[in-house]
Amino acid sequence: TKWVYAFGGGDSEGEAGMRELLGGKGANLAEMAKLGLPVPPGFTITTEVCTAYYENDHAYPADLEAQVEASLAKLEATVGKKFGDPANPLLVSVRSGARASMPGMMDTVLNLGLNDETAEGLAKLSGDRRFAYDSYRRFIQMYSDVVLGVDHAVFEDILDGFKDDNDYSLDTELSADDWVHMVAEYKKAAARELGRDFPADPREQLWGAIGAVFGSWMTERAKTYRRLHDIPASWGTAVNVQAMVFGNMGETSATGVAFTRDPSTGDTGYYGEFLVNAQGEDVVAGIRTPQCLTEAMREKMGDDNPSMETAMPESFAELARVFDKLERHYRDMQDIEFTVEAGRLWMLQTRNGKRTAKAALKIAVDMASEGLITTDEAVMRVDPAQLDQLLHPTLDPEGERDVLTTGLPASPGAACGKVVFDSDEAEERRKAGEKVILVRIETSPEDIHGMHAAEGIITARGGMTSHAAVVARGMGRPCVSGAGQIKIDYANRQFAVGRRIIKDGETVTIDGATGQVLYGEAKMIKPELTGDFAKLMTWADTHRRMKVRTNAETPADCQTAVDFGAEGIGLCRTEHMFFEADRIAAVREMILSNDQDGRVTALDKILPMQREDFKEIFRIMGERPCTIRLLDPPLHEFLPHSEEDVVDVAKATGLPADQLLARARDLAESNPMLGHRGCRLGITYPEIYEMQARAIFEAQVAVEKETGFQPLAEVMIPLVATAAELSILKARVAGVAKAVAEETGGKPKYLIGTMIELPRAALRAGDIARDAEFFSFGTNDLTQTTFGLSRDDAGKFLNDYLEAGIFEKDPFVSLDRDGVGDLVRIAVERGRAEREGLKLGICGEHGGDPNSIDFCEEVGLDYVSCSPYRVPIARLAAAQARL
């Protein structure tokens, strides 16, 4: 097997299409080298080695070493230097590179190959002793940290102490001799921490670093990131070994990261940051605040430091040419790392850049207008799930703002929550139901879980490409970075801005679009779907076959959904209406009644209220179809349970407490979800369903009289297992419709159908379709009943199943295509075979999940239905499912 692929020096063994084997970074380095761009040569150890390593108890394939040696020899020949040669040393970087980019998750070692002899050699060769020892100390620190597990703070403390003793404030003030001294101190510290000398043999260093990259694939933070982003552990990472180029060789050297368009807004124009006389990690780590790449960006940010465009005009011009070439070649916005070594430009990485939802929309629409991509491609370019970011409230521009400070607008959106200073705590408090804003001096990969748990993130240090900014944008969390006026005091759990002190637990709001940090809870407004969003949705809608409906029962939700483009209601859960304060008493009275007459008396009180509910909904929905589900949950859900609650309810309603309690006990079930619920209630208490049906039909007639349009009701009988249940209840509902028509002289337009949420119903869909005019797949219950897995309790152990790889994804979130999907497929076939034109939809949570929507398209459903805020997501996903 070929385990190692070379790139650079005018040719490459790999290319962009080999991302699975070479990882994203390795594949794109190979591609750039092929395109003739200046890429330092190197080689990639494949992801298959990583997989083999974990399959074989952390052992490498037998012939790997020989292949690495051969590639190293080739690399030496290409650059004309030798690894470990004191006279002419080759130094390399060792970086990870997974198939899907995992920013900040995997480790990097720079300047590898340095020891006392080669450092001296590098000093002579470069004529710059200061540079050589600066590189050497960086190497010791980074290698100790990443490969040997020595905390980098050990070295930072030594450096800080030395700077204090010498009255230095910046690293740049240290002389060559100072760095030589630092190197000696660092080596001592490393030896002390390790209990042995820091490894001087370059080959030992190299294999140590390769092992560390493979090892980092299974760290907790990498696992967390993979879990959050659905990346399988089986993919593995590649290792890239590449000749070093140096951005820290003085004032004509620099290093930077850039995007070919603004990753926050999508605006055209290069966007990025650089640092003069620095090495790669300095920019990302947020240790020094970098300078802007372009003049336009500098002006926008109000930065006083010169941009790269003015400070290094020639390198910048070359960089701009490379940017354009890469964007045209990849036909997408690129995220690029580069280094300028003594005036010469080198490309270290390119990849399709991560972007906010707003930027994704703008870039897709712009690129389609520029003719770089087609409108179909534009539709495919936007991740539907990401649209979520745009569908939530933003700060009201008119609202009052108590601005504490302004940092960098690192990731857009508004967020409000209580201040927390620690990532573990953020996670705990989130679990306890609190909304938190994570406040850190800077973030590192150890903070991923805290950032995910937080509503938003504030950092005191770091630029627009700092870890916090990149990760927050990727996660869709609003973030303000580099809020330099904030002084964080971790020990006392507070931060100060000027003379104001904000303590742990106090509420702040951040505006990721402006970089503002506000005290308290600021006013927010509903988003509008205009501009690029509207345009892309129009393109998407031309491809969409399935309709998109919403699950809603309140007028506000119905209106939101219609504004987002909902084409009907797929599920109106009427039980929510029973909990309303003005009728819960009558509902309880009905449940407590000993006989049908008593129940009917109570139901008569509920009827007018329920009729009003439906009238409001029909007015909003117009002639769009509305699926209204008759009562579904077990009756005891409406009764108080604890003795305390019973006393309260008795007082409030005048119902006798002992009767309430007795009835609640009476109705209690061991398995309520498999108990007396759904259509089973309708069989036992037909008067309940008849009241609901009457409310629906009377509302239809009334609204038709009032408005002139004709509401369309789809009356849905839940939890049917047999054809007989449906035919009995259908006859009752149809009887009510007839009666209402006679009484009112109106003619309600309706269908009667059922939910398919039990395996038996799916299997017997043929029988059931004799009476059902539509099916709606209730995939929440269908998942529960197919797996025999409780919706309400699975959360407690689901993670174990995900971690053990038993479930790839939570089946309640993403439809299990194999099992539950098979039942859906069977029901579709058998149902349609019995009744041509049977209307089919889905109303479980899966109706808003892009991957499940793709499945719904595949099996030919007529519509999906989801919560109002997911309607645009479903519209886009349904379009993508057709492309």
Catalytic residues: 467, 843
**Binding footprint of ligand PEP on the chain (CB under 6 A):** 571, 573, 632, 757, 778-781, 843-844
Closest CA to 409 of 430, 394, 425, 399: 394
Selection from Mg ion, ligand PEP, none that 89 binds (CB < 5 to 8 A by kind) is none
In the complex, residue closest to Mg ion by CB = 781
Closest CA to 714 of 688, 753, 770: 753
Tokens encoding 659:
């009767």
Selection from Mg ion, ligand PEP, none that 779 binds (CB < 5 to 8 A by kind) is ligand PEP
780 labelled binding-site residue? yes
Beta strands of 381-473 (E only): which ranges?
394-395, 403-406, 408-411, 414-420, 436-440, 456-459
Element (H, E) at 239: strand 237-243
The minimum distance between CB 848 and ligand PEP, in angstroms, equals 11
Which of 373/566 has CB closer to ligand PEP? 566
The minimum distance between CB 781 and ligand PEP, in angstroms, equals 3
Looking up tokens 């190299």, which residue turns up? 206
* End-to-end CA, the chain: 37
Which of 6/758 has CB closer to ligand PEP? 758
Phi, psi for 272 (deg, rounded to 5): 175, -175
Which of 205/865 has CB closer to ligand PEP? 865
Selection from Mg ion, ligand PEP, none that 262 binds (CB < 5 to 8 A by kind) is none
**Vertex 148, ends 209 and 39: CA angle to 5°?**
25
Residues 6+ apart with CB under 8 A from 364: 373, 377, 378, 379, 381, 382, 532, 536
Which of 778/811 has CB closer to ligand PEP? 778
Which of 178/781 has CB closer to ligand PEP? 781
Which of 659/790 has CB closer to Mg ion? 790
Selection from ligand PEP, Mg ion, none that 573 binds (CB < 5 to 8 A by kind) is ligand PEP
The minimum distance between CB 480 and ligand PEP, in angstroms, equals 38
Rounded distance, CA 659 to CA 662, Å?
5
Question: Residue 845 interacts with Mg ion (CB under 5 A)?
Answer: no
The minimum distance between CB 844 and ligand PEP, in angstroms, equals 3
781 labelled binding-site residue? yes
Rounded distance, CA 755 to CA 703, Å?
26
- 130: three-class secondary structure by DSSP: helix
The minimum distance between CB 776 and ligand PEP, in angstroms, equals 8
Of 21-29, 234-242, 700-708, 774-782, the segment contacting Mg ion by CB under 5 A is: 774-782
- 544: three-class secondary structure by DSSP: coil
The minimum distance between CB 790 and ligand PEP, in angstroms, equals 12
Selection from ligand PEP, Mg ion, none that 571 binds (CB < 5 to 8 A by kind) is ligand PEP
Which of 247/678 has CB closer to ligand PEP? 678
Rounded distance, CA 579 to CA 470, Å?
44
Helices (H), 685-722: 686-707
Selection from Mg ion, ligand PEP, none that 844 binds (CB < 5 to 8 A by kind) is ligand PEP
Give 476's strand partners: none
Of 17-25, 54-62, 431-439, 781-789, the segment contacting Mg ion by CB under 5 A is: 781-789
Residues 6+ apart with CB under 8 A from 329: 31, 35
779 labelled binding-site residue? yes
**Site size with Mg ion, rule: CB under 5 A:** 3
Name which position in 208, 625, 640, 778 contacts Mg ion (CB under 5 A): 778
Residues 6+ apart with CB under 8 A from 609: 577, 580, 582, 583
- CA dihedral of 667, 671, 673, 674, whole degrees rounded to 10: -100
Selection from Mg ion, ligand PEP, none that 828 binds (CB < 5 to 8 A by kind) is none
- 51: three-class secondary structure by DSSP: helix
Closest CA to 130 of 90, 71, 67, 177: 177
Letters for 805-844 (x = contact with Mg ion by CB under 5 A, - = none) are: ----------------------------------------
Rounded distance, CA 786 to CA 230, Å?
24
Count the residues in the chain. 883
Which of 508/761 has CB closer to ligand PEP? 761
Selection from Mg ion, ligand PEP, none that 394 binds (CB < 5 to 8 A by kind) is none
786 labelled binding-site residue? no
In one-letter notation, the amino acid at residue 611 is: R
Classify residue 868 by its DSSP letter.
G
Rounded distance, CA 784 to CA 794, Å?
9
The minimum distance between CB 575 and ligand PEP, in angstroms, equals 8
The minimum distance between CB 663 and ligand PEP, in angstroms, equals 24
Name which position in 613, 781, 845, 857 contacts Mg ion (CB under 5 A): 781
Binding residues: 573, 629, 757, 778-781
Binding residues for Mg(2+): 757, 781
- The residues that touch Mg ion, with contacts defined as CB under 5 A, are 757, 778, 781
Binding residues for substrate: 573, 629, 757, 778-781
